[in-house]
Copies of this chain bind each other. A is one copy, B any other.
Amino acid sequence: MKKLIILLLISSAFLWGQKRKTNYVIVIHGGAGTITHQRIFGEKQKEYEKKLTEALLTGKSVLEKGGTALDCVEKVINVLEDSPLFNAGKGAVFTGEGRNELDASIMNGKNLEAGAVAGVRHIKNPISLARLVMEKSPHVLLYGAGAEEFAKLQGINLVDTSYFFTQSRWDALMRIKQKEKMEAGDKHGTVGCVVLDGYGNLAAGTSTGGMTNKRWNRIGDSPIIGAGTYADNKSCAVSCTGHGEFFIRNAVAYDMTARMKYLHSSVTEAAKQIILHKLKKQGAAGGLIAVDKEGNIAMVFNTKGMFRGYLKKGSAPVVKMFGDDRSISNPRK
């Protein structure tokens, strides 16, 4: 009888320990850039806040039902891909040829499995195709027509290219072509999500239309595992946004995990070192979000603002976009 009581006590302690692990965290971004009070206010600001909140609550619902970090990353990014507000899926920017070429990648921190697609033109939700590449192909990265052939074999319906037409992105291309100069928000707007789930696993995903007026089938950092996206349970999950070429050359997403593993930096220290020092010195604009296995989060950017938000189990979603409220402990909702 005594033994039984001891066993019960040990089991309860164990279960309590397990339960403590289930404090999930979801972090999202919708791109970094010249996001200021002068440019975004009133109805427009509310639209962004509403959509970012919806994405976080979608993720919450996935996790509350016992979904994994991977499920959560995919579904959250689907919400942002389906909105014309962000440069991913429906709101993708136009290439120099007036087309939409979408890139996305996803990674599972539990086993380092990863999938990515680049240059797809008929895929409504590139992040979901990236997940299929990870789970149903022997490869990590597929391109364009080949990736779409694989999608068809997986039962994904291709959408007509007209699906991706949005007037504001088209106007942005025209402005750039005329002025050969970027305006705020024309260039970036990539979306991303990183999650620590109830099972203690990390996952990360990123989805984008790339850079307005990009040419020659340019591939940026978003579909590159190690550049735009990385997840490893031993360190953190990361999703980046910004001037992709610099993020590739600095292997930013992997560097986050390397600094945590090898230098024992915190997730915030690592993010600040890379974004505010290393990249800023190179003149590279952008930011990143990250979450570690303890649920600590970083949302760091060297631009005027970054659409971003997070949701921790048991708390309300927090959504921000401007640069004058960088502290995550002082949320501006």
Chain A residues within 8 Å of B, Cβ to Cβ: 107, 112-114, 118-119, 137-147, 149-150, 214-220, 224-227, 230, 244-245, 248-251, 254-255, 258-259, 262-263, 282
Could you say which residues of chain B place their CB within 8 Å of the CB of A262? 258-259, 262-263
- Contact, CB under 8 Å: A217 / B258: no
The distance in angstroms between the C-alpha atoms of A230 and B147, with both chains bound, is: 26
The distance in angstroms between the C-alpha atoms of A195 and B130, with both chains bound, is: 36
The distance in angstroms between the C-alpha atoms of A21 and B17, with both chains bound, is: 58
Shortest Cβ distance from A144 into B: residue: B217
Could you say which residues of chain B place their CB within 8 Å of the CB of A215? 146, 150
Chain B min CB distance to A109 (Å): 11
Known A141-B219, A219-B118; contact A226-B245, beta-carbon cutoff 8 A: no
- Contact, CB under 8 Å: A245 / B143: no
- Contact, CB under 8 Å: B143 / A219: yes
Known A139-B218, A219-B141; contact A225-B254, beta-carbon cutoff 8 A: no
Could you say which residues of chain B place their CB within 8 Å of the CB of A214? 139
Chain B min CB distance to A147 (Å): 6
Could you say which residues of chain B place their CB within 8 Å of the CB of A113? 249
Could you say which residues of chain B place their CB within 8 Å of the CB of A114? 248-249
- Contact, CB under 8 Å: B219 / A248: no
The distance in angstroms between the C-alpha atoms of A114 and B137, with both chains bound, is: 29
- Contact, CB under 8 Å: A139 / B245: yes
Shortest Cβ distance from A137 into B: residue: B216
- Contact, CB under 8 Å: B141 / A218: yes
Could you say which residues of chain B place their CB within 8 Å of the CB of A255? 254, 258
- Contact, CB under 8 Å: B140 / A245: yes
Chain B min CB distance to A122 (Å): 14
The distance in angstroms between the C-alpha atoms of A144 and B143, with both chains bound, is: 9
The distance in angstroms between the C-alpha atoms of A143 and B225, with both chains bound, is: 17
Which of the residues B141, B150, B258, B282 comes within 8 Å of A258, measured between beta carbons? Answer: B258
- Contact, CB under 8 Å: B250 / A112: yes
The distance in angstroms between the C-alpha atoms of A23 and B140, with both chains bound, is: 39
Known A149-B216, A224-B224, A227-B226; contact A249-B144, beta-carbon cutoff 8 A: no
Could you say which residues of chain B place their CB within 8 Å of the CB of A218? 139, 141-143, 146
Shortest Cβ distance from A151 into B: residue: B216
Could you say which residues of chain B place their CB within 8 Å of the CB of A220? 141
Could you say which residues of chain B place their CB within 8 Å of the CB of A119? 143
Chain B min CB distance to A271 (Å): 16
Could you say which residues of chain B place their CB within 8 Å of the CB of A248? 114, 140-141, 225-226
Chain B min CB distance to A280 (Å): 15
Could you say which residues of chain B place their CB within 8 Å of the CB of A230? 251
Could you say which residues of chain B place their CB within 8 Å of the CB of A258? 254-255, 258-259, 262
